[in-house]
Amino acid sequence: MTGDTLGGYRLVRKLGEGPRAEVHLAYPRSDSDDARAVAIKVFRPTVGDTAAITEIEALSRAAGDHVVTLIDLAGGPDGAPALILERVAGGSLGRLLRDRASLRQGEAITILVPLARTLRRLHDNGVVHGGLRLEAVAFDGTGAPVLSCFGSASLIEPRMPPARLEQEQGVIRDLDDFARVARAVLDRLPLPVSLPDPGQDWLERVEQVLFDLGAPEAVQLRSDGPAELAPPARILTAPPVPPEPEVGGRGGLLSLVLPDWLDGAGLAVSVHRWASRARRAVLAVRARAWIALGAVAGALVLAAVLIPSSSPDATAGPAPHPSLSPTPTASNAGGDDVVAGDDPLAALPELLALRERCIRDLSVLCLDDVDQPGSAALAEDQLLVRSLQQGSEQPDTLRVSASDLTLEERLGDSALVSLGDVTDSEPASLLMMKSEAGWRIRDYLER
């Protein structure tokens, strides 16, 4: 495939391959303003959709500092999915340990504390890495560790109580793998360091052991490099897991509570820069590229849209969708119970009926009970209502009968529902997500 183009990128050389996929170094085409290299992972045609979807969802849930960024999606040869990933060019932790016979205590802190915090964030967000090893940890240009290699990842229930989380076999394996990685790093230190015994809050106790070693230092990635470097700004900035947004609330920048020792170490961390970076990384994963690979894959990719962008301008953006409405029924009694229930096909007509009332009443706040907070659907419906408030013409109502709805795919608390026989200008399907408040619409998918 070297020399071919894929997703607007020119493949330069193969970085590696396995039974499931090939990874290529790629650059934007010559007519692009962006000259950054990327890594493109092309799944083999024999790999089923489920494996690709799981990896995409895992990367989406894990998005943040110290995790490789999923930039975009594309269709590879024979229609196989391809992931366009951040190129982390500082080499792997395995290579570092092969090149360096010893490490300083501060370097061990820089390497292991972000990994411990990132692993905890993954588990809280419902992701089991499944392949944590020395070669799965890379370094960016500043020397900060970045967790990659999510091909063996699996999904669990997000935000489990600690007692349940500690019983998950995938979580236990991740902790065992982290212990081996940490041991390999600590064995390079001039003095012996013991890890705490396994048990409750083990990662937090590992962090404390590392803090006791001293202050973090930049990692010297080359054995012949300078002995003293400034600590990278990205170091130790893996954020705590933000709380679930309250129904009816408004999204905003994630707030980070930085530990006291971080300021004392003189590490400059820009919260707003991190939040902007996280938003760009997540919002870059849009449906358009993935729809070409199939409606099911497109729906689950859109679950990555976790953080809202700024409010859309009423005079710009895509044309609003027609107003969706179910075919009228004799009674809407028990609608709240239906929306809170387990059946997305029963909940959707109730949500569409409420959506129509919100649009008729020109109420933006009303949409919080229809669309998921921070979702693309909420942004589009808010744009529609605001354009109507400024005098735009009311869109035609699309009548959707419950008998026309088809459950295309269900994965945990997400569901892709087909709207049946609609025109090319109207949504072909909806992505729905369920939270404690019940079902909500996450996105409208075009044909």
Amino acid at 32: S
Q: Which CATH number fits domain 93-269: 1.20.120, 3.30.70, 1.10.510, 3.40.720?
A: 1.10.510
Q: Which range is least confidently modeled, 144-153, 282-291, 332-341, 402-411? A: 282-291
Sign of CA dihedral 149, 150, 153, 156: positive
pTM score over 0.85: no
| More confident of the two residues 248 and 370 | 370
Query: pLDDT digits over 113-159, tens only?
Result: 999 999 999 999 999 999 999 999 999 888 899 999 999 999 999 99
Q: Where do the structural domains in the chain lie, given as residue ranges? A: 5-87, 93-269, 308-445
Residue 25's DSSP bridge partners are 13, 39
Residue 375 binned pLDDT confidence (cut-offs 50, 70, 90): confident
* Token representation of residue 155: 């999904």
5-87 is classed CATH 3.30.460.10: no
* Token representation of residue 2: 């070297």
SS3 317: coil
Report which of 74, 69, 47 is spatially closest to residue 59, judged by C-alpha positions: 69
Report which of 8, 138, 131, 23 is spatially closest to residue 72, judged by C-alpha positions: 8
Query: pLDDT digits over 163-176, tens only?
Result: 999 999 999 999 99
